[in-house]
Amino acid sequence: MGKAVALSYDDAITTVTEELKKQGFGVLTTIDVKDTLKKKIDKDFERYVILGACNPNFAYRALGAVRNLGLLLPCNVIVHETPAGQTMVEIFNPLFMAEIIDHPDIKEIAGSVGQALKTVLDALPA
C-alpha cells in the first residue's frame, strides 16, 4: 500500500508518525537507510527511512494466537524520495501475514491492522 504525498520528506516522516499515533501505533525503530549505507559501505542512496510501527493491542492479540508471529513484526512503513524528487509513503500490507501463517485469528487481526494502516495512508495529502 502506498502513494506519492504532497509533503516534503521530513514533513512526511512527521505526519506519518502522527497519523500512526492516532491509530494506536508507536514507532519502535527508525532506520535511516541513506545514512546507514553511507556509513557501512560508503554508498550514496536517496533519502529513505524505515519506520517499525507497532500497535501493542494488535501485537498482543497476534502473539497470543501464534507465538512465532514476532518474526513478521513490527509493521514496516517506508518514507523515501524518488530520483525525481517525489516523496513516497509505503506501508506493508499485514494481510500478507495471513498468507504466511494459516491461522483464523491472524486473518481477522491482520484485516484490522490493515484497515488502521490504510486510514494512516488515506490521511496523508496526495
Q: Distance between CA atoms of 32 and 22, rounded to whole angstroms?
A: 23
pLDDT digits (tens, 9 = 90+) for 1-55: 999 999 999 999 999 999 999 999 999 999 999 999 999 999 999 999 999 999 9
pLDDT at 102: 85
pLDDT band at 97 (very low <50, low <70, confident <90, very high): confident
In this prediction, residue 2 carries a pLDDT of: 97
Joined together, the cell numbers standing for residue 105 give 485469528
Find out whether 120 and 20 touch, Cβ atoms under 8 Å: yes
Return the pLDDT at 98. Answer: 84
Region 69-85: mean pLDDT is 93
Task: Count structural domains, the chain.
Answer: 1
Does the pLDDT at position 121 exceed 90? Answer: yes
What is the average pLDDT value for the chain, to the nearest integer?
95
For residues 81 and 110, give the distance between their C-alpha atoms in angstroms, rounded to a whole number: 28
Containing structural domain, residue 80: 2-123
The CATH number linked to 70 is 3.30.310.70
pTM for the whole structure: 0.93
